[in-house]
Amino acid sequence: MIAAVGPIAAAPPKPIEELRRTVSASRLNTWLSCRLKFYFRYVLGLKKPKTAALYVGNAVHGILKLWNKARWHRKPFTLETARQQFDTLWVADQIKEPVRWDDGEEPGEKATAWSLLDLYLKQSPIPPNELPEGVEVSVEADLANHGLPRLIGILDLVRAGGRIVDFKTVGQTPNEEKAIHSNEVQLTGYAILYRANTGKIEGGRDLHQLVKTKTPKLIITQQGPMTPPQEARLFRQMESYVSGLDRQDFVPSPGMQCAMCSYFNECRRWS
């Protein structure tokens, strides 16, 4: 149970029932990493400025979305177009949502974001004339026959042959097995969504990871279609989500993730 959290007690009504009806991979990941963080973010709806790392990730994602959409609509999208759009969006997105920059940090972060895009657009394994099956498709899967909430999500890119691609910006060169493990909820969820909406089995699930090292790197991690044990693991995690919401089990999970948590101050007031 939540008690004595100071100023945040005057929060809007808790939409527990609504959160129970649907779940996305990112919401489930937050739940699994820390239920108190989930409470602050989704139950109380406490908004926090974006971190620099999140802003860089969103900026890269935004341009890759335009690049994928251009191929989908058979329109040209040159490196120059990408640069112009990047410069425009970098300013515009900060007006919509503030960013928590440290002093003097922004120019370096902007240069990093562009260097990742420049690398990807020059070295992507996706041919410029490859027509995607789908780009930024918003999809749902009804899992009521498993006693679970409706799974919702947005597929970044589905390549020809049903290869699901998810783009990531990461701070360190990823280890293949750990990358698959730490993105398991998302990649399994995408497979369920793809199957529910196409009636087909996905061709594979790929992580295209842009690494923010001094010299940027592109690391591609490939996985085959979802296996029955992967599906079972996700269903058990979703069951834990549902039963935890029913109990309103919003306890903190202190650990490594707290260093990056925007709710640290609120968390310290929890008892």
Q: Which residues in this chain contact ligand SF4 in the complex, by CB under 6 A?
A: 34, 36-37, 252-254, 257-258, 261, 263-264, 267
Q: What's the closest the beta carbon of residue 226 comes to ligand SF4, in angstroms?
A: 28
Which residue number, 158 or 261, has a Cβ lying nearer to ligand SF4?
261
Which residue number, 35 or 159, has a Cβ lying nearer to ligand SF4?
35
In single-letter form, the type of residue at position 73 comes to H
* HEC secondary structure over the chain: CCCCCHHHHCCCCCCHHHHHHEEEHHHHHHHHHCHHHHHHHHHCCCCCCEEHHHHHHHHHHHHHHHHHHHHHCCCCCCHHHHHHHHHHHHHHHHHHCCEECCCCCHHHHHHHHHHHHHHHHHHCCCCCCCCCCEEEEEEEECCHHHCCCEEEEEEEEEECCCEEEEEEEECCCCCHHHHHHHCHHHHHHHHHHHHHHHCCCCCEEEEEEEECCCCCEEEEEEECCCCHHHHHHHHHHHHHHHHHHHHCCCCCCCCHHHHHCCCHHHHHCCC
Which residue number, 111 or 251, has a Cβ lying nearer to ligand SF4?
251
Measured CA to CA, the distance from residue 196 to residue 95 in angstroms comes to 37
Which residue number, 45 or 147, has a Cβ lying nearer to ligand SF4?
45
Q: What's the closest the beta carbon of residue 37 comes to ligand SF4, in angstroms?
A: 4
Which residue number, 73 or 269, has a Cβ lying nearer to ligand SF4?
269
Which phi and psi angles does 120 have, rounded to 5°? -65, -45
Which residue number, 84 or 253, has a Cβ lying nearer to ligand SF4?
253
Q: What's the closest the beta carbon of residue 10 comes to ligand SF4, in angstroms?
A: 19
Q: What's the closest the beta carbon of residue 257 comes to ligand SF4, in angstroms?
A: 5
Cβ neighbours around 61 below 10 Å, total: 16
Q: What's the closest the beta carbon of residue 212 comes to ligand SF4, in angstroms?
A: 22
Q: What's the closest the beta carbon of residue 149 comes to ligand SF4, in angstroms?
A: 22
Q: What's the closest the beta carbon of residue 113 comes to ligand SF4, in angstroms?
A: 25
Which residue number, 37 or 208, has a Cβ lying nearer to ligand SF4?
37
